[in-house]
Amino acid sequence: MLKLDPGRQARKFLDQVPLKHARQLAAKLLQLRQNPYPSDAKQLKGEPYWSASAGEYRIIYRVEGDTLRIAVVGKHNDDDVYRQLRRLT
């Protein structure tokens, strides 16, 4: 199982999520730790990052060695997730 390393922006977002949604995100993160490349995940074009959905949220992440690094978490239909990712890279 991969170690989990949420980035600063992801951690900040996760701290503000309502409990019901936090449970959905936690379940998805556990699944990603066990299998970081599920069939519902998509690799972002030209990037080492992948995108996975959890309820109404999108998780942007990448695998580095034995660590699952969470770059950004945000609303599913909000392009701000990708703007935040561009600022990080």
Q: What is the pLDDT of residue 60?
A: 94
Q: What is the pLDDT of residue 79?
A: 78
Q: What is the pLDDT of residue 76?
A: 74
Q: Position of tokens 């239909």?
A: 77
Q: What is the pLDDT of residue 82?
A: 80
We find that the CATH architecture of domain 3-88 is 2-Layer Sandwich (3.30)
Q: Position of tokens 């695998």?
A: 63
Note whether 71 and 60 are within 8 A (CB): yes
pLDDT tens string for the chain (89 positions)?
Answer: 999 999 898 999 999 999 999 999 999 999 999 999 999 999 999 889 999 999 899 999 999 999 999 999 988 776 778 888 888 77
So where are the chain's domains?
3-88
pTM as predicted: 0.89
Task: Give residues with Cβ within 8 angstroms of 47, minimum separation 6.
Answer: 85, 89
